[in-house]
Amino acid sequence: MKKIIELICGLALAGVAFAAETTIVNLNVEYHKNPIAIDTAHPRFSWEIQSSKRGASQTAYRILVAESEKDLSATGSPLWDSGRVVSEDSFAVPYQGPALKSRTNY
């Protein structure tokens, strides 16, 4: 039987020279935007960078997964923090934290 995991992820990207004209769009978990549930214990994250600034690109990312927004704050405790990963990858980046529980919002 497949696990059904309700997942809301916190995704923070680092390494982009963020200016008013640079934004992160199309955040996806397992190729879906805001999925109600997924059936994998190690979901993959994807995102896109939009910028009107010529040559803007990602040089690193950081992914945070938590059960609440409070856990994503400076005083909180996320379930998984990828740390700063020096990489241009932004498609199908795998979750590498502890096992996710079924029927739990993250």
For the segment 44-79, what is each residue's pLDDT rounded down to a tens digit?
999 998 888 888 888 899 998 998 888 888 788 899
Residue 47 has a pLDDT of 93
pTM assigned to the model: 0.74
For the segment 1-18, what is each residue's pLDDT rounded down to a tens digit?
333 333 334 444 444 444
Q: Are 3 and 39 in contact (CB under 8 A)?
A: yes
How far apart are the C-alpha atoms of 58 and 54, rounded to whole Å? 13
Q: Are 79 and 71 in contact (CB under 8 A)?
A: yes
